[in-house]
Amino acid sequence: CKDMPMLMATPHTLVEGVIISSYAVRAHHAFIYVRGEVLHVIRRLQQAVADAYQAGYLGKGIFGTEYDLDIVVHAGAGAYICGEETGLIESLEGKRANPRIKPPYFPAVLGLYQCPTIVNNVETLCHVKHIIDMGGDEYAKIGTPGNTGTRIFCVSGHVKKPGYYEFECGKITMGQLLNEVCGGPRDGRTFKAVIPGGSSAKILKFGERFKGKSRAGVEYDWGVEDVPMDFDSLAMIGTMGGSGGVIVMDHSVNMVEALANINAFYSHESCGQCTPCREGSLWMKKISSRMVHGAARKEDAALLKGVADQIPGRTICAFGEACSWPTQSFLSKFKDEFESYAETKKSKPADSLELV
């Protein structure tokens, strides 16, 4: 998770962002919700909060004013579903992290303990300090129109220099990020695919091209390497910026096994509240697991797609979409590989694949 190095390096930036944001909406209680497994991060944040209390930035009557603010660092149980704002609120209340139905449970109206609540992620709150320091107009000059500010990209997988990199939104392309910043593919390897925004973002296949018009009416004709790394550009080619987690795969990757790994994760992390998500994610896990264990059937690829297509739009939260998009996009971009797997029980050589 890209938040962890940031919180270890500059925890006070987050605390400052929480204080400013709380003051802006006149909130008097703030919680920093952290996965319980990262004890070192929790201790680092607790010390940063203690420093803020000692310096007078937190507590009763801050700097002689009538404004009070308390911050609590709360350790959760590490469930992925707590990334959904109402699931997180349920967890904070000591309940099972089942996302709430919206409406009526929009957090800004009925949030924590049925009080108006604002939920934001770490990266957003860390930007607050810089916006205040620079001023909104100056900060808006960073990045590109409609995609202002900076983004931290967590690049993992088959590049020479994986790591965390911060750039202005839209000022770097996928090719520049992977080849110039991350050193390109490993020796003797070539890029095969990339997931640009965390595991739920739809996969992109190197070699395919994207043509169309932007919202401003500007025509584009991009390969994967040409795509600017901003929210709008990635959405235009059918994927998303998401969390900024860039997962790179070279031609040594078996795409059936890669999808099976993702499906196992989403099946495990489903809260189980909605039947399409609970059963659909489990079915996708079982089918893809069967394929990689040598029992693939000719109809499995179509069955996988059929299951994935029945989940989106039928669940309380967006986890349903998140768990189905990998299967939909993997099958769309690597259909031949999945069909070949059913015949040979092993991955088809990537060089012989055709775009579909």
pLDDT tens-digit map of 191-206: 999 999 999 999 999 9
- Separation of alpha carbons 356 and 208, rounded Å: 9
The beta-carbon contacts of 110-119 under 8 Å, at least 24 apart in sequence, are 112/31, 117/89, 118/21, 118/25, 118/27, 119/85, 119/88, 119/89
In this prediction, residue 279 has a pLDDT band, given cuts at 50, 70 and 90, of very high
Query: Does residue 134 register a pLDDT over 60?
Result: yes
> What's the token pair of residue 323?
């768990």
Query: Does residue 350 register a pLDDT over 80?
Result: no
pLDDT of 161-218, one tens digit each? 999 999 999 999 999 999 999 999 999 999 999 999 999 999 999 999 999 998 888 8
35 CB-near residues (< 8 Å, 6+ apart): 1, 75, 76, 78
Q: pTM to 2 decimals?
A: 0.92
| Coil, strand or helix at 187 | coil
Instruction: Return the minimum-mean-pLDDT range out of 17-26, 70-79, 92-101, 340-349.
Output: 340-349
Burial class (CB within 10 angstroms; exposed 0-12, middle 13-18, buried 19+) of 200: buried
Query: Does residue 345 register a pLDDT over 90?
Result: no
In this prediction, residue 346 has a pLDDT band, given cuts at 50, 70 and 90, of low
User: What are the sequence ranges of the domains in the chain?
Assistant: 3-122, 143-250, 255-348
pLDDT of 299-335, one tens digit each? 999 999 999 999 999 999 999 999 999 999 999 999 9
Mean pLDDT of 40-49: 98
* Closest C-alpha among 85, 69, 70 to residue 33: 85
- Separation of alpha carbons 94 and 113, rounded Å: 11
In this structure, CATH architecture of domain 143-250: Roll (3.10)
> What's the token pair of residue 185?
């593919």
Tell me, yes or no, if the two domains 3-122 and 255-348 fold the same way.
no
Class of domain 255-348 (CATH, top level): mainly alpha
Mean pLDDT of 236-264: 96
Query: Does residue 356 register a pLDDT over 80?
Result: no
What pLDDT score does 340 carry?
Answer: 86
- Separation of alpha carbons 38 and 34, rounded Å: 8
In this prediction, residue 341 has a pLDDT band, given cuts at 50, 70 and 90, of confident
**Residue 336 or residue 284, greater confidence:** 284
- Separation of alpha carbons 88 and 96, rounded Å: 9
DSSP 160: S
What pLDDT score does 186 carry?
Answer: 95
Mean pLDDT across the chain: 94
What pLDDT score does 355 carry?
Answer: 42
> What's the token pair of residue 319?
């986890």
Burial 240-253 (b: 16+ CB within 10 A, else e): bbbbbbbbbbbbeb
For domain 3-122, give its CATH number from 3.40.50.11540, 3.90.78.10, 3.30.1520.10, 3.40.1410.10: 3.40.50.11540
What pLDDT score does 217 carry?
Answer: 85
| Coil, strand or helix at 343 | helix
> Please, are residues 174 and 241 in contact by the beta-carbon 8 Å criterion?
no
Query: Does residue 353 register a pLDDT over 90?
Result: no
- Separation of alpha carbons 311 and 321, rounded Å: 7
